[in-house]
Each structure stands twice: as structure tokens, then as C-alpha cells.
Structure 1
Amino acid sequence: MARIAGVNIPTNKRVVIALQYIHGIGSTKAQEIIDQVSIPAERRVNELSDAEVVQIREVIDRDHMVEGDLRRQTAMNIKRLMDLGCYRGLRHRRNLPVRGQRTHTNARTRKGPAKPIAGKKK
């Protein structure tokens, strides 16, 4: 099992698909990475040599922000909005949808399960 950027990537999948298991790498970035390292698209992870794995690791470390650093940066951006007290920060603070979705009905994913209100009958 190859370990890249602190993540065990699956061995029996193609390299392009397996790289997407790393937080911060999607299909486009995965394709760019294997193009830079010049690995054929149909190659599987268990067929990679150690040198190729090291090359992939170096490209990711050098050119891409992934896993812990990316999560930390996202958390810091949200914290900055909350500290500023801007509208988006207030929505984050109250666990409500941030991007303008309606909340009168729906928004259950963000708000959590419905809480019954005493005495509300129609």
C-alpha cells in the first residue's frame, strides 16, 4: 500500500483515481500530477516502482497544498470571517447556511434534526 501525503492510497485502483483519495486533489489535479511524472493513465498503484512513488510525493509536496495544511487553512479562513463579524461569519457562528439558501423550510443538513416547538399546532 503506497503512502502519499499521509494517506494510504488503495493499491488495486488506477493512479489517477487513487490520488483523489488525498484531500485537496481532484480529478484535474490528479491528471496534472501523473502528466508531470509521465505515468501512463492505465497504470495501477501496485504496478508503480518506488522511484515513481517518490516522484509523485515530491510533486505533491512541491506544488500542491493538501491534507492537514489545506484543512488548517480552511479552518483559519472560517475563523477569520467569524472574528470579523461579517455576515458570512455570523452565519458560520450560528450554524446556518452561508451562501444564501432559504432556511424557513429545508436547510436540515446545516441546522440538524428538527426541534419540536411546544404548543405549535395548526
Structure 2
Amino acid sequence: MQTLYGIGPSLSYFILSLLSIDPNVLVWRLSNFKDMMIVRFVENNFSLENILSYKQQSNIASLKRINCYRGSRHRANLLVRGQRTRTNAHNRKYARL
């Protein structure tokens, strides 16, 4: 269940506990009814995959548009959250080369 973008370990355990499904059971041993129950619950109650990635990209675009510090760091493809750049961060700094 954690293979979906936006669902991590804690949320998956929470969903399984709400649906009263044992979290230790293997996926191929679930019945079709329980499988469909999980799918319908997730589709109806959570935004996943495309919606979350679109929100993330639109938030970054708005930061760039208003010319704030974080937006300029995104635009320059540098680290955004105050990490050290003197050493380390080579993947982010030199990704365009």
C-alpha cells in the first residue's frame, strides 16, 4: 500500500486499522472484497499521485513568481532549506552540467 505517492507507513497502518485488516497479512492473501474495500476507501478519502505532484509544482512555481528567497534558490537549482553547500550537495548544484 505504500507504493502509492502520498501514502507512507503510518498512513497505511492507519487505513488498515480503520478497515480492520491485519497489517501483517500478505497482499496476495487478501480477498477481492478486502482489496476493493481498500481501493475505494483510498480513492474517496485521499488525494494521491497526480494531484499531490501538481500541488507541489504549483507551490514551487508560486515561490518563483513572487521572487522570494526560496523561489530564487529553486530557480538557480541550489539547496533551498539552508543546507551546507561548501562541501556536499554536488548532485543538486551540478545537476545541469
TM-score, normalised with respect to structure 2: 0.89
Superposition deviation, residue 42 in structure 1: 2.0
User: Residue 48 of structure 2 aligns to which amino acid in structure 1?
Assistant: V
Query: Which residue pairs with 1:83 in the alignment?
Result: 65
Residues matched between the structures, number: 96
Superposition deviation, residue 68 in structure 1: 1.1
In terms of mean alpha carbon deviation, does 59-68 or 31-40 score higher? 59-68
Selected match of 1:53 from 35, 40, 53: 35
- Secondary structure of the residue that 1:65 maps to in structure 2? coil
Percent of aligned positions with the same letter in both sequences?
Answer: 38
**For residues 14 and 63 of structure 2, what CA distance do their matches in structure 1 show?**
32
Selected match of 1:36 from 18, 23, 28: 18
Structure with a larger share of its residues in helix: 2
In terms of mean alpha carbon deviation, does 81-90 or 33-42 score higher? 33-42
Structure with a larger share of its residues in strand: 1
Q: Give the gaps of 5 or more residues in structure 2.
A: none
User: Residue 58 of structure 1 aligns to which amino acid in structure 2?
Assistant: R
**For residues 98 and 46 of structure 1, what CA distance do their matches in structure 2 show?**
42
Superposition deviation, residue 32 in structure 1: 0.7
Q: Give the gaps of 5 or more residues in structure 1.
A: 1-18, 116-122
TM-score, normalised with respect to structure 1: 0.72
Give 1 or 2 for the bigger CA radius of gyration.
1
Residues 44-92 of structure 1, C-alpha deviations (whole Å, 9 max, x = no match): 1111111111111121112222111111111111111111111000000
Query: Which residue pairs with 2:83 in the alignment?
Result: 101
- After superposition, the CA RMSD in angstroms is 1.5
Selected match of 1:63 from 34, 42, 45: 45
- Secondary structure of the residue that 2:12 maps to in structure 1? helix
